[in-house]
Amino acid sequence: MLLGPISLVDSAIFVLLLIPQLFYHAGVLSTLGISVKVLPFLLLQLPHHLYHEWYLLKPEQRSPFSRKATIYQDIVIRCIRYAFATFPPTVSRVFLSKWVALPFLRYRLLRHGYLQSPIFYKEVVRQGFRGLWLIHDDKSDPDLIIYYCHGEHPAPKPGRTLIWRSGGGFLMGSTYFYLEFLMTWLTRLQQQGYRNPACFALEYTLVPHARAPTQLNETRAGYQFLLDTLGRESAKKICVSGDSAGGTLVLSMLLYNLTADYDSQLANRLERPGLALLLSPWTHLVSELNRNTASDYLDQHTLHLFARQYAGRAAMTDEVLSPGLCVDKWKNVEPENGFRIVYGAEEMFAPPIEEIATRMKRNGVLIKAYRREGSVHVWPVVDMFLGQSRVERVAGIDLLASCIVSTSMAPKSPNDLAATMPTTRGKRTYYYESHDSDQDYDDHVQTLAPAPPPSRRPPNISSQAQPQPQPQPTDPLVVPPGPLELALDVRTKFAVARIKRIMQADEDIGKVAQATPTAMAKALELFMVSLITKGAAEARRPTNASGSGGGGKRITAQHLKSALMADPQFDFLSEQCASVPDESAGGGGSGGKKGRAKSEAKSEDSMEEEGAPTKKRGRGVGKREHVD
């Protein structure tokens, strides 16, 4: 499943869904108070900052994020930054809640031709945790499991199977807000060769309904549930993942294997997962390394307040709750394929992420960090919601999928050559580049160049001839044997929905499919012109050996039949042509021919009379003609 970019109409629908939920969950007075408080920002501060940065500053003076962003993306990030720093959590969590996110996703699916979700999902509720289970085929076992974590419910409830721990500072967020992101991720994994990838998205209890170690125990319980359900040997095909605070819980769960201090019922050691894939993890709960930046939407003071509400004084001393404090234990908790960390160069957590990656490297851990220049916190999720094209929206997801495919967890089927992603063929918006020589990074950190910024003015084309670049040799494209098939079910009786589904499977093929009705109409027009021309030639052809006969102006079915049968390229119509009677069989011998000749002559006379110019009638003309 790959939906199109979020439009302004989609944004308006989201606001309409949000307003009643704010009144219901946050309260009328809180909602009205926030509305009054936000008006000066929307009417004065936001326009002033946008005008100053976009029209008064030079491009190199603007913040790194705004240099590559559109004005719509810049507005959204500024609004999120303001809300994160000023809105109370009781209001902020409504924006990401199930009651807003799920109806919005259903609207988006319906707008793209889906009457129901193309990927199966259901809630899983067990004692001690809860979550969402997503899978392509719920009747078959998964060959890859992603464990993702996010919070929303006020009390501990059971969870799901591929766990992705989503962020929210332990105080806000919902798995349903990430549902489109997770479904798209599963779709891209299936297109990479996995038969039936699945995801269990854990919803941990939010602060202040519970504090540490409740969230850690729920995370371990969800992982234990996967092992008990799918077998202990399934740990090798589980990728534990999470962003922001969810990444913190992933690291805490791995470090907890070395201790038994938090819950005696969960003190047993868990099998190590196949891979740990983290998006902008919150490694140091309270640290001077967490610094505000001009581009990111996170706020240091607010996050440190969240951290103290979550862990109290332990936020600065406990290396399990604040994994960035751990120095020398990473080798003992390393997953089978190590760690992968994806983050933005302009986010608040960039310095602590680089510090923990360096420590892991010194411990002998397999660690690869991917940093994209000019990007903010959890940029793959941000691009998914704010990207202006399908290619831009899935750039981060494709990077996450490639992190999994490049390990021993890669799909095992013979057709899993994992060539390229269908819709990003030759169009990826990120590029692997070596880091600058003057920066002190180890070889485990790779820099991803940001997508080129959208052009805001016509390019300056020089009048002098530029040297043409020499073509570089490229490797041949390996195409797997067998017929090519779309990795999406396009069966539907609605033509428009069918074309949209084809476009979602492959953008290039979708463009062809979108133009198919026009091409077919033109092809039919050319076919009819050719057929009528050949039928007219058959009508004018002499009917006897002396060269007489024929020359009629009327094209009959027999003439069209003769034209089709005489041309070998129309042999596929021979069965239809055989059902048309020959000329001798249709009119009763010579009498039929005479009758047809008489009718043809009559029709010719009538055509000549119709073609003759009419004379003006004077007085009495009609009467004289009647007498004659």
CA distances from 16 to 20, 37, 100, 117, 223 (A): 8, 20, 9, 22, 37
Please say if the pLDDT value at position 570 is more than 70: yes
Amino acid at 593: K
CATH topology agreement for domains 116-411+422-449 and 494-541+552-581 = no
* Alpha helices for 179-312 (secondary structure H): 179-191, 214-230, 245-256, 300-311
Question: Could you please report the per-residue DSSP string of 282-301?
Answer: ---SS-TT----SS----HH
DSSP character for 573? G
Q: Which residues of 274-294 are buried (b: 16+ CB within 10 A; e: fewer)?
A: bbbbbbbbbbbbbbebbeebe
* Residue 442 C-beta-side C-alpha neighbours within 13 Å: 16
Q: Which one, of 209, 228, 222, lies nearest residue 159 by Cα? A: 222
Is residue 241 within 8 Å of 197, Cβ to Cβ?
no
Residue percentage of the chain with pLDDT more than 70: 69
Q: How much is the pLDDT for 388?
A: 87
Amino acid at 487: A
Q: Which one, of 586, 80, 51, lies nearest residue 376 by Cα? A: 80
CA–CA separation, 74 and 245 (whole Å): 24
Please say if the pLDDT value at position 457 is more than 60: no
Other beta carbons within 10 angstroms of residue 124's beta carbon come to 22
Please say if the pLDDT value at position 484 is more than 70: no
Please say if the pLDDT value at position 478 is more than 60: no
End-to-end Cα spacing for the chain: 83
265-274, 366-375, 562-571: the lowest-pLDDT one: 265-274
Please say if the pLDDT value at position 438 is more than 70: no
Give me the count of residues in the chain: 628
Other beta carbons within 10 angstroms of residue 76's beta carbon come to 18
What would the two tokens of residue 110 be? 């319906």
CA distances from 447 to 78, 128, 341, 434, 435 (A): 25, 40, 12, 6, 6
Q: Which residues of 156-174 are buried (b: 16+ CB within 10 A; e: fewer)?
A: bbbbbbbbbbbbbbbbbbb
207-211, 213-217, 551-555: the lowest-pLDDT one: 551-555
What are the pLDDT digits (tens) for 359-411? 999 999 999 999 999 999 999 999 999 998 888 999 999 999 999 999 999 88
* Residue 69 C-beta-side C-alpha neighbours within 13 Å: 26
Q: How much is the pLDDT for 548?
A: 58
Q: How much is the pLDDT for 280?
A: 94
CA–CA separation, 404 and 478 (whole Å): 21
Please say if the pLDDT value at position 421 is more than 50: no
Question: If residue 361 lies in a helix (H) or strand (E), which one and from where to where?
Answer: helix 350-362
CB neighbour list of residue 467: distance below 8 Å, 6 or more residues apart: none
CATH number for the segment(s) 116-411+422-449: 3.40.50.1820
Question: If residue 496 lies in a helix (H) or strand (E), which one and from where to where?
Answer: helix 495-505
What are the pLDDT digits (tens) for 487-526? 455 556 566 666 666 666 666 665 666 677 777 777 788 8
Please say if the pLDDT value at position 473 is more than 50: no
Amino acid at 608: E
Is residue 277 within 8 Å of 409, Cβ to Cβ?
no
CA–CA separation, 125 and 291 (whole Å): 38
CA distances from 167 to 27, 93, 249, 278 (A): 25, 12, 10, 11
CA–CA separation, 235 and 252 (whole Å): 17
Q: Of residues 503 and 587, which shows the higher confidence score?
A: 503
CA–CA separation, 179 and 132 (whole Å): 9
- The pLDDT mean for the chain works out to 77
61-65, 269-273, 287-291: the lowest-pLDDT one: 269-273
Question: Could you please report the per-residue DSSP string of 23-66?
Answer: IIII-HHHHHHHHHHHHHIIIIIHHHHHHIIIIIS-GGGS-HHH
Is residue 176 within 8 Å of 99, Cβ to Cβ?
no
Q: Of residues 93 and 455, which shows the higher confidence score?
A: 93
CB neighbour list of residue 105: distance below 8 Å, 6 or more residues apart: 176, 179, 180
Q: Which one, of 190, 188, 189, 129, lies nearest residue 161 by Cα? A: 129
SS3 call for 27: coil
For range 41-57, the mean pLDDT: 93
Q: Of residues 554 and 405, which shows the higher confidence score?
A: 405
Q: How much is the pLDDT for 366?
A: 94
Q: In the chain, where are the structural domains located?
A: 8-99, 116-411+422-449, 494-541+552-581
DSSP character for 202? E
Q: Which one, of 102, 249, 224, lies nearest residue 168 by Cα? A: 249
Question: For 215, phi and psi rounded to 5 degrees?
Answer: -65, -35
Is residue 412 within 8 Å of 236, Cβ to Cβ?
no
Residue percentage of the chain with pLDDT more than 90: 40
Question: Could you please report the per-residue DSSP string of 399-460?
Answer: HHHHHHHTSTTS--STT------GGGTTT-S-EEEPPPTTS---TTEEEEEPPPPPP-S---
Q: Which one, of 175, 579, 576, lies nearest residue 381 by Cα? A: 175
Please say if the pLDDT value at position 78 is more than 90: yes
Q: How much is the pLDDT for 533?
A: 86
Question: For 238, phi and psi rounded to 5 degrees?
Answer: -105, 125
Question: For 48, phi and psi rounded to 5 degrees?
Answer: -65, -45
177 pairs with which residues across the strands? none
CA–CA separation, 517 and 24 (whole Å): 48
Residue with tokens 């910024």: 453
Q: How much is the pLDDT for 233?
A: 87
Is residue 178 within 8 Å of 279, Cβ to Cβ?
no
Angle, alpha carbons 539-542-548 (nearest 5°): 130
Please say if the pLDDT value at position 174 is more than 90: no
Omega before residue 213 within 30° of 0, cis: yes
For range 553-562, the mean pLDDT: 80
Q: How much is the pLDDT for 539?
A: 81
pLDDT category at 429 given cuts 50, 70, 90 is: very low
pLDDT category at 273 given cuts 50, 70, 90 is: very high
For range 346-366, the mean pLDDT: 94
pLDDT category at 221 given cuts 50, 70, 90 is: very high
CA–CA separation, 497 and 111 (whole Å): 9
Is residue 354 within 8 Å of 369, Cβ to Cβ?
yes
Is residue 315 within 8 Å of 385, Cβ to Cβ?
no
What is the architecture of the domain spanning 494-541+552-581?
Orthogonal Bundle (1.10)
CA–CA separation, 207 and 22 (whole Å): 19
CA–CA separation, 175 and 165 (whole Å): 9
